[in-house]
Structure 1
Amino acid sequence: MTAGRRVLHIRFLGAAAVAGYPALLRLLHGITPVVQALPPDAALADVRGALRYFGRDAARLAALIRVRTLALHGTDCVIGVAANPLLARLAADGLGGPGVAEVPDDPAAVAAFLAGLPTDALHGVGPATARALSSYGLDTVGRVAAAPPATLQRILGAATARRVHALARGVDPTPVTPSAPPRSASAEHRFGHDELDPGTRRRALLTLADELGYRLRGEGQVARSLTLTVRYADRSATTRGRTLPEPTAHTPALAGLAYALHDALGLQRARVRAVALRAEDLVDAAHAARQLSLDPADERRRRAEAAADRARRLFGRKAAGPAANLDAA
């Protein structure tokens, strides 16, 4: 652990956090310039340079951030405070709800905090590595930390064993790298009443995918991932995201992923008030690789889409588009 280093792992809560993510990052930049975006709703912040300026320790500075997010954006958050990103993330994950949790910068306190955690709680230890360790009885972080390095090397190999043993002792030299959030574009449809019909919700998703696709194609951009947010009558919300098979602005591809995200939620009798799509990690279409298709039907669809875009630019947004669009009803 780096002496004097204090890192915050902030996860903003609620559907509004995804929509207002850029503004929330700007709030963090008002505290420290060393902010690393973790879309769609989290960030890392190295605050060691801000402690003296604000006259607070890291935990109290985290509490100040929470107050500001609530007061200025109506968004609560969970914040983990520790000496490195690994421990800060684990501290945040350990909270059952909004608040601030700190892991003291003391080897004994770090060991006690980590001891009972399952090995797959360590960020960077995947299911396969966790299964390999568990097969030898090393099913907690404390047991991995106490295991002889030679034993870990026999199980995992030298390089992986060194990395996992360091993580199990709370050692994470990963820097907080300042970064801006990936470029994104979003669209939302609000129903006039509690919408129970999944067919109508799918039509709304097609309409939003068509809107996003038209906008991205007009700007020469493609999206690498898509996020769906469903808002319910009780003001709660569910957000799910997934990476696209390839960067695209093709409406059928965006709509297909939107349908998959929606269907995976299993919303049988949910009272839905709004659905929103967010195309994320946008890049210039000219720089994005596209897999060549041998399907003539796909090429015809893309030509028809380009023709519909030209008609829209000439005669307005409703001049052409999928027949199942809500706008076409």
Structure 2
Amino acid sequence: MTILCLRFQLPSAGETVLPGLLTLLREFTPVVEAAPPDAALADLGGAERYFGRNAVELAAVIRVRALALYGVDCAIGAGPGPMLARMAARDAAPGVTRVVHEDPDAVAEFLADKPVWALPGVGAATARTLGSYGLDTIGRLAAAPLSTVQRLVGARAGRELHEKAHGIDRSRVVPNAAARSLASERTFPRDELDPFQHRRALLSITEELGARLRAEKQVCRVLALTVRYADRSTTTRSRTLPEPTAHSSALTDAAYRMYEALGLQRARVRAVALRAEGLGPAEGTAHQLSFDPEDEKARRLEEAADKARARFGPGAVIPGALAA
């Protein structure tokens, strides 16, 4: 067991903390992969030999140091590969390390009762196709003949899916750096079922991100949405914007579109987060001209609101939908 997946409980301004946390991980191993918006993978194969400790013991040290240096707790998954480590981290509560041992029986037991959509690469359409044939859990998928799975989803995809259902993971931890980004999260006081409250939280976040981008004279090219559910599982989607922007209305529209595309029906949502990625300087950024007077009016109002916030604080001006 050499791979850790760490899901950090980042504050709203997590983009300022994440690079430091990645640096902390690199004190244990150079093989660290940032996994935005709030996670990282670390291959501890060499670290186990160097420090004379196993991955679980090293995970405990990393957690203590993250808390001491940054005030950030984390949920940690440990497994023989990135896929199982990620899945274990989704099962773990903050302050807990969930371990999946390399033994095939232990892997099979860990995966057996999980829904097929828990496997990476299985979207809603594939899950529906498999479910219509009774392959709604990973255990049932693993027990199905390879030829059956290939007939349902295709030869190549079927083979990859069948391997993943048996815990076979051919991916590796690829060292990278955290991309420059801005992020914010809203956690509900209780598991929230109401889509209106979900959208209200997204509006609050896009207003905040837009104001922060404009204050820093930045624009973003990509917006990523993360939804965390009551069972601590998460869904992340991203969208490349039509043009780089810092305007809250454009961010809100993109966030709503991603949220609607998830098709959440009576989902128990614990938190929603947005991350503005692909940042660049606003100066010199091309803007597509609009002849819509409402668009120009919105931009003028946004400029006036920014001036009021700069003078009286971030809560000086908020949308009417958030004042109710």
What TM-score, normalized to structure 1?
0.68
1:150 is aligned to 147
1:138 is aligned to 135
SS of the residue 2:162 aligns to: helix
Q: How far apart are residue 100 of structure 1 and its match?
A: 0.8
2:276 is aligned to 280
Q: How many residues align?
A: 282
Cα deviations by residue, 1:221-256 (Å, 9 ceiling, x for unpaired): 43422679xxxxxxxxxx998746613123442466
SS of the residue 1:43 aligns to: strand
2:181 is aligned to 184
Are 2:11 and 1:15 aligned?
yes
1:81 is aligned to 78
SS of the residue 2:45 aligns to: coil
Which amino acid in 2 is paired with 1:10?
A: L
Aligned counterparts of 2:222 and 2:65: Cα–Cα separation in 1? 32
Aligned counterparts of 1:241 and 1:145: Cα–Cα separation in 2? 26
SS of the residue 2:89 aligns to: helix
Larger Rg: 1
SS of the residue 2:121 aligns to: coil
What TM-score, normalized to structure 2?
0.69
SS of the residue 1:139 aligns to: coil
Q: How far apart are residue 76 of structure 1 and its match?
A: 1.6
1:222 is aligned to 220
1:113 is aligned to 110
Structure-2 change in CA distance of 1:144 and 1:22 (3 Å): same
Taking only aligned residues, the RMSD between alpha carbons, in angstroms, comes to: 4.5
Bigger mean CA deviation after superposition, 167-176 or 19-28: 19-28
Query: Taking every aligned residue pair, what percent have the same amino acid on both sides?
Result: 42
Q: How far apart are residue 258 of structure 1 and its match?
A: 7.9
Q: How far apart are residue 284 of structure 1 and its match?
A: 3.3
Gaps of 5+ in 1: 189-197, 229-238, 262-276
Structure-2 change in CA distance of 1:301 and 1:176 (3 Å): farther
Aligned counterparts of 1:81 and 1:75: Cα–Cα separation in 2? 19
- Of 152, 160, 164, the residue aligned with 2:161 is 164
Q: Is the 8 A contact 1:17 1:75 kept in 2?
A: no
Structure-2 change in CA distance of 1:78 and 1:299 (3 Å): closer
Are 2:31 and 1:34 aligned?
yes
Q: How far apart are residue 282 of structure 1 and its match?
A: 2.8
Structure-2 change in CA distance of 1:324 and 1:117 (3 Å): closer
SS of the residue 1:50 aligns to: helix
2:211 is aligned to 211
Which amino acid in 1 is paired with 2:21?
A: L
